[in-house]
Amino acid sequence: MWNRILFARSSIFVAACVLLAGCPWKSVEPHLKGHWVVDIDRTISQAKQDGMPAAAEPRIREMFTDGLLEITSDQLVMRVAGYDGVESAGYRVARSSGGCDDLVVDGSPRKHSYCVSGDELVVRDPSTKIAVVYRRQ
């Protein structure tokens, strides 16, 4: 009898582990992986559509021109061409739907939206007011 109880509890535990491990976080979607470069003209265009004042354009160009993003299976690695500094953060895919993925990024309190359409990636970081547009490198 104890064997059956132990087996039943073990089976429930294994099933719960599988469900809990599989449901909340997904692995990176293949369409996200790779190397991306900021498309500064599309980023400016998108920012204008989102209500950016014209006076902000030079600052955005300064911050994002030659920006590079590498997405691996568990890391976001950001660089600016010509500079030695590298920023990286771990992440998990929380939800995927129709080419858009909500990412939980280490150190960020809210989810980030990553949407791919063809060779274009639009990133909406909730801590910034603009979307950054990348193209596949």
* Phi then psi dihedrals of residue 11, to 5 deg: -65, -40
pLDDT of residue 7: 33
- The alpha carbon of residue 20 and the mean position of all alpha carbons in its chain are separated, in whole angstroms, by 22
| Residue boundaries of the structural domains of the chain | 25-136
Nearest to 91 by CA among 108, 79, 78: 108
Nearest to 114 by CA among 32, 36, 35: 32
- Reported as a single tens digit per residue, the pLDDT across 28-68 is 567 899 999 999 999 999 999 999 999 999 999 999 999 99
Give the C-alpha separation, 32 to 66, whole Å. 19
pLDDT of residue 29: 62
Give the C-alpha separation, 70 to 127, whole Å. 20
Choose between 27 and 38: higher pLDDT. Answer: 38
For the domain made up of 25-136, the CATH class stated in words is: mainly beta
Dig out the tokens for 128 from the structure. 């910034």
pTM (whole model) above 0.85: no
